[in-house]
Structure 1
Amino acid sequence: MLSTQFPKFLNARYRVKDLIGRGGMASVYRATDERLGRDVAIKIFELRATDEPDIQRQQSEINVLASLNHHSLVTLFDVGVDRTEAKHPQIYLVMELVDGVDLRRRLDGPPMSTRHIAQIGYDLAEGLDYIHGRGVIHRDIKPANILLAEYSSDSRARARLTDFGIALFPDSARVTSQGMTTGTAAYLSPEQARGEDVGAASDIYALGLVLLECFTGEAAFPGEPIPSALARLHRDPTIPEELPPEWRHLLSTMLAREPEQRPPTAEVVLALHQAVIAETGRHRSAADHHLASDERERLQEITRLDILDTPSDGTFDRITSLAARLFSVPIAIVSIVDTDRIWFKSHHGLDIEEIPRDPGLCASAIMSDGPWIVENARADPRALANPLVAEQFGLQFYAGVPLTTRNGYNLGTLCVLDFEPRLITEAEIRTLTDLAALVVSELELRLESRRLALSDD
């Protein structure tokens, strides 16, 4: 229920809807940006700016935050001031609305694997390295401020850091109206607890506490705010003996009481990247045989349908042309993923016949059980390093639906591409799925026709 103290329509643009969550400093609402036709999250601060210089200072700092753009951060779209009550203007932030749960809720569920913890840590460390390089310190790293973004067809949720409400710039200071250090007591660094100046090392300490909690399921310094804050000044958090040595070393250095003893953010990124590689290798070793078997059977399906390197076909060309028109995109493709290449059975708006398998998004899409959607390739961690995105081709939007045979194997995709980011609706995804099913049906019909022709002979 929307609080009556806030207008339901901000800046003649944002229609405020349901309350998502409420904290000590602000409330977050789901809203619709009626200019762009997309849902957003709006954070309205409870603390009110009292004069114009105060408003300008807040806006100046928030504008710097709005310039941040990284796949491990929740994007800040806009900042504004609500002047409905002339004497009490209020700052509000317009942010990306992320589908998924926060890490606090996830920690209430089943234990996480070491691999998943490594992936979360790596995502967050990359985001911190980015903001620290721009002089921003988050100051409130905690599970509730970490969103696990669900991409519809990705293999895992990606950690995204949010809530820069008390982010600190090194040349400023910020305390609460009671003169206490800002932040959440259970995740304060020792220097925050002492009320001292903080830097990047403070965020590293808080990240260490979050990762430790992912392993143990419990906060290292629970309890009431003041005892919790003081506890870290007298003891180090307990790191379980059963953790692998490399994790014990990393967490113990991140959780050193003195800031100068903690590793720089870039080193934490490297260490967690190595942890992801190591854990992924262990995870894959048990599954490699099964995956290899699946790939052999998938390739046998392609052979059964006898589709590779066949001549151009008007039926499939009409399907890609129809897809391009329905989605108002320049390119649509029926692709078949072979051992080392992606071959295009039909390609509307594109002259090439095939590309190597490694950089192709279609090769990722066939690993999914459903649609594989990249709405903004330059902000999506699954596509950032892809040469079709990063290099001259300039791909920004990709939506691919697997071509799934009656035996349950994905031959390739029906996909639509654009050079601009765009949103896709559930109805559009269903349409693309129906067209993909039509492609597979046509392939099966042609195979059956060939068999009947041979039998007649």
Structure 2
Amino acid sequence: MPNNLSDGLFLGGRYRLLNQIGAGAMGTVHRARDEFLGRDVAVKIIRPSATSELDLRRSDAEAKILARLNHHSLVTLLDAGSDTSNPDYPLIYLVMELVQGLDLRDRLKQGTLTRRQAALVGYDLALGLDYIHGNGVVHRDVKPANVMLFDYGSEDARIRAKLTDFGVAMVANDPQSQHGTFSGTAAFMSPEQARGEESVPASDVYSLGLVLLQCLTGSPAFPGPALESALARLLRDPEIPAALGEDWVSLLKAMTAQEAAQRPSAHDVSMVLYDMVVRARGRHRVDPELLPDNEAQRMDAVRRYELLDTPPDGAFDRVTALASRVFNVPVAIVSVVDTDRIWFKSHHGTDVTEIGRDPGLCASAILQDDVYVVGNARQDPRTLANPLVAGEFGLQFYAGVPLETSDGFNLGTLCILDTQPRSFSAEDAQTLSDMAAIVMNDLEMRLESRRASASHSAG
């Protein structure tokens, strides 16, 4: 890549480079202006190792495949393309959401993560890896600098992690795939990468294991110069302190097994980490009685409908406004129940957008097959100690209908709330159920539309 890549370069007739904000082995990252939508984005400029017209067409096609990937544990890729205006320096570019905030590398400079924080970060990253592996993409460079951290600004909101730079090595025709050479970040590469062999999904699992180990200990497992670090993992396994606990030691040993075939899949890692989060929530602990028997599968369904880490959905505002008028209640909500939070996708009559899972009655409502009703919360033994009842909000009435998928999983609820006790008839229950069906029908239609679009693109 030319050293004098100038600001102001106009890519794809749409993206004008403003200034460089990062650099790595595979290319440079620039803040750019999307002239079409009038917003700032991040553009990754990649210099392919191969420059033939055929190779450039292949890289361009692969970049477009990456741009179609969409998952809440990945930094969103918005567009992709190639620029051959200078035939001596053809470029592949990826357009991504512009992320403001710390990456995991910078966060670890402040100190280690708690076991629960590490499990949550690892859970998010394992989900992202499982998704890209299922789409035929291997990351090849899982490391703290490629992990972006987010939180939602409230005391109870947990840190969430998103993976960036996925598939860049593939698009750039990374020589790592050629036997006898290696590339990537030495401190986090797998043994097969260190041997110059082809990367496989299990290579990303190994790297994630080293990332999590550093999150917990504060130090890289294989420090030192690049060659020394890369060769060290061929001679020994990483040292995993027994003080981390049997669950962490067992998981990290499995993830960093020398042989790729002996490592768990990213999906299996996500399930183990999910169980660890449930067991070690501390003040965020969710009552086991409020966890459905099929909780892991239910959360898979929530992710399938792409309901997490998205803003409140204006499409449902008319439904909640209608529910408020029909039942003459001050508050109506479309909720989604996450692992430890309840997100309000539409919230009429309140500015609150999320609460912890434990105090939220929606967590109880999703365990039901029918409407969940609390007519007088201050006299109902199920809710006497609930902070929403005893606290400032003064909740006294709740009715919620589960949002049930076509294959039987409850994503969340359509619920109504009041600060006065109320009766709720069978006719009322049917009306609320009909409104919930409208919400669920919309979600099903969106899911089918995405599947149809993906099928059309693949064709």
> Which TM-score band (shorter chain)?
0.5 to 0.7
Separation (CA, whole Å) in 1 of partners of 2:353 and 2:284: 25
Q: Deviation digits for residues 140-188 of structure 1, max 9, x if unmatched?
A: 100001111244557023111111254459xx97339996312110111
CA contact (8 A) 1:49 1:88 kept: no
Deviation larger for 227-236 or 16-25 = 16-25
Note the C-alpha offset of 1:279: 1.5
CA contact (8 A) 2:105 2:145 kept: yes
157, 160, 185: which one aligns with 1:158? 160
- Aligned with 1:15: secondary structure? strand
Which residue matches 1:432?
A: none
CA contact (8 A) 2:14 2:35 kept: yes
Change (3 A) 1:80 1:284: closer
Which residue matches 2:207?
A: 206
Note the C-alpha offset of 1:349: 10
Q: What pairs with 1:98-177 in structure 2 (closer than 5 Å)?
A: 98-153=99-154, 155-168=157-170, 174-175=175-176
- Aligned with 1:202: secondary structure? helix
Q: Which runs of 5+ in 2 are unaligned?
A: 288-313, 355-364, 367-390, 396-459
Which residue matches 1:283?
A: 283
Change (3 A) 1:38 1:152: farther
Change (3 A) 1:110 1:347: farther
Q: Which runs of 5+ in 1 are unaligned?
A: 289-328, 334-342, 375-385, 388-407, 413-457
CA contact (8 A) 1:63 1:79 kept: yes
TM (norm. structure 1) is: 0.63
Note the C-alpha offset of 1:234: 0.7
- Aligned with 2:102: secondary structure? strand
Q: Deviation digits for residues 60-103 of structure 1, max 9, x if unmatched?
A: 22122122111101111111222342432211110112232110
Change (3 A) 1:371 1:118: farther
Note the C-alpha offset of 1:42: 0.4
After superposition, the CA RMSD in angstroms is: 4.0
Deviation larger for 258-267 or 101-110 = 258-267
Which residue matches 2:335?
A: 359
Deviation larger for 26-35 or 150-159 = 150-159
Q: What pairs with 1:422-433 in structure 2 (closer than 5 Å)?
A: none
Note the C-alpha offset of 1:348: 9.9
Change (3 A) 1:364 1:68: closer
CA contact (8 A) 1:49 1:91 kept: no
Which residue matches 2:216?
A: 215
CA contact (8 A) 1:99 1:150 kept: no
CA contact (8 A) 1:78 1:93 kept: yes
Note the C-alpha offset of 1:278: 1.1
Which residue matches 2:54?
A: 53
Separation (CA, whole Å) in 1 of partners of 2:144 and 2:185: 11
Question: Which amino acid in 1 is paired with 2:143?
Answer: K
Q: Structure 1 vs Structure 2: percent identity of aligned residues?
A: 46
CA contact (8 A) 2:75 2:96 kept: yes
Question: Which amino acid in 1 is paired with 2:335?
Answer: P
Question: Which amino acid in 2 is paired with 1:155?
Answer: A
Question: Which amino acid in 1 is paired with 2:196?
Answer: G
Q: What pairs with 1:20-419 in structure 2 (closer than 5 Å)?
A: 20-47=21-48, 50-153=51-154, 155-168=157-170, 174-175=175-176, 180-280=181-281, 282-284=282-284, 359=335, 364=343, 409=392
CA contact (8 A) 1:201 1:264 kept: yes
Separation (CA, whole Å) in 2 of partners of 1:28 and 1:176: 23
Separation (CA, whole Å) in 1 of partners of 2:351 and 2:225: 46
Work out the number of aligned pairs and report it.
Answer: 329
Question: Which amino acid in 1 is paired with 2:166?
Answer: F
Change (3 A) 1:23 1:66: same
Separation (CA, whole Å) in 2 of partners of 1:61 and 1:31: 22
Deviation larger for 32-41 or 88-97 = 32-41
CA contact (8 A) 2:323 2:332 kept: no
Separation (CA, whole Å) in 2 of partners of 1:228 and 1:36: 45
CA contact (8 A) 1:27 1:46 kept: no
CA contact (8 A) 1:17 1:31 kept: yes
Change (3 A) 1:347 1:79: same
Note the C-alpha offset of 1:238: 0.7
- Aligned with 2:41: secondary structure? strand
Change (3 A) 1:108 1:204: same
Separation (CA, whole Å) in 1 of partners of 2:4 and 2:152: 31
Question: Which amino acid in 2 is paired with 1:207?
Answer: L
**Larger C-alpha radius of gyration, 1 or 2?**
1
Which residue matches 2:293?
A: none
- Aligned with 1:41: secondary structure? strand
Note the C-alpha offset of 1:245: 0.7
Change (3 A) 1:33 1:352: farther
Question: Which amino acid in 1 is paired with 2:159?
Answer: A
Separation (CA, whole Å) in 1 of partners of 2:209 and 2:315: 46
Note the C-alpha offset of 1:4: 4.6
CA contact (8 A) 1:81 1:91 kept: yes
CA contact (8 A) 1:201 1:262 kept: yes
